[in-house]
Amino acid sequence: MRSDPFSSLVSIIYLLIGLVVASSHAFFTNLNTVMPIVSAVLAVLLWPLVLLGVDLHLK
C-alpha cells in the first residue's frame, strides 16, 4: 500500500500551519511540564479551533 504524495504534502502543510498558529498564540512558552506540552501538541493538531478563539491552554 503506497501513500499518495499529495496527501503527504497536505499533511505536512497542515502541521506547518499548526506550528505557526500555535507559536503565534504562545503555546511554546514554558514547556517545562507535561500539561503545557500537551497543550502545545493539541494546538498544533487543532489549530483551526485556536484561530476560532478556543483556549487550549490546559491548567
45: which 3 cell numbers? 493538531
Q: How far is CA 40 from the centre of its chain?
A: 6
pLDDT value of residue 58: 83
Strand ranges (E), the chain: none
pLDDT value of residue 47: 94
Is the model's pLDDT at 3 over the cut of 80?
Answer: no
pLDDT value of residue 2: 65
26: which 3 cell numbers? 504562545
Q: What single letter denotes the amino acid at residue 27?
A: F
4: which 3 cell numbers? 499518495
Give 58 or 14, the one with higher predicted confidence: 14
Question: Each residue of 12-57: pLDDT tens digit?
Answer: 999 999 999 999 999 999 899 999 999 999 999 999 999 999 988 8
7: which 3 cell numbers? 496527501
